[in-house]
């Protein structure tokens, strides 16, 4: 009986270790923190190392769908559709996320990122910042799926 319980326990731990992050595959409508208007639809994907990234699936602001003209390096003049704007986001337990980076296509700047899932999974409250979190901006994204 002990062997069966041990085997079932190990099987449960293996399934838990291989479980995808709750944000994996979710789709969100980004809301501009200055205008309060929807900007884009993004989708989260879990990477092999367990971190999350998010890419723009659709641009909702007319006239802004062409290219990331202010972006630097490999993102310069790339189409916004398909552009990865979130990288390295880690689940810190429950609904808390941290240690990521977010690209602001409007300015071309990259910021540190942390956040949490709120309102039963319907809102994603994010904070982009440079250095310390006190020096940053908040955005709340709305679940689209």
**For residue 76, what are the contacts with CB-CB under 8 A and spacing of at least 6?**
68, 69
Share of the chain above pLDDT 70, in %: 87
Is 2's pLDDT higher than 80?
Answer: no
Task: Give alpha helix (H) positions in the chain.
Answer: 2-17
Instruction: Tell whether pTM > 0.85.
Output: no
Q: Which residue has the higher pLDDT, 142 or 134?
A: 142
pLDDT band at 9 (very low <50, low <70, confident <90, very high): very low
Quick one: which H or E segment has residue 72?
none
CATH of domain 21-143: 2.40.128.520
pLDDT band at 69 (very low <50, low <70, confident <90, very high): confident
Residue indicated by tokens 């944000």: 23
By CB neighbour count within 10 A (0-12 exposed, 13-18 middle, 19+ buried), where does 125 fall?
A: middle
Is the Cα dihedral 129, 144, 68, 85 positive or negative? positive
Quick one: which H or E segment has residue 16?
helix 2-17
Q: How far apart are CA 55 and CA 43, in angstroms?
A: 6
Residue indicated by tokens 């270790």: 17
């Amino acid at each position: 009986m002990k062997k069966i319980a041990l085997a079932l326990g190990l099987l449960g731990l293996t399934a838990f270790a291989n479980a995808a992050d709750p944000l994996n595959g979710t789709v969100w409508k980004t809301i501009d923190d200055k205008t309060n208007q929807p900007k884009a639809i993004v989708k989260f994907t879990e990477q092999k190392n367990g971190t999350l990234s998010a890419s723009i699936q659709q641009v909702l602001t007319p006239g802004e769908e062409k290219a990331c003209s202010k972006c630097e390096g490999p993102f310069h003049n790339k189409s916004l559709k398909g552009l990865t704007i979130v990288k390295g986001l880690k689940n810190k337990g429950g609904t808390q996320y941290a240690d990521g980076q977010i690209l602001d296509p409007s300015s071309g700047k990259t910021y540190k990122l942390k956040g949490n899932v709120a309102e039963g999974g319907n809102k994603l409250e994010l904070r982009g910042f440079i250095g310390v979190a006190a020096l940053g901006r908040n955005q709340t994204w709305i679940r689209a799926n």
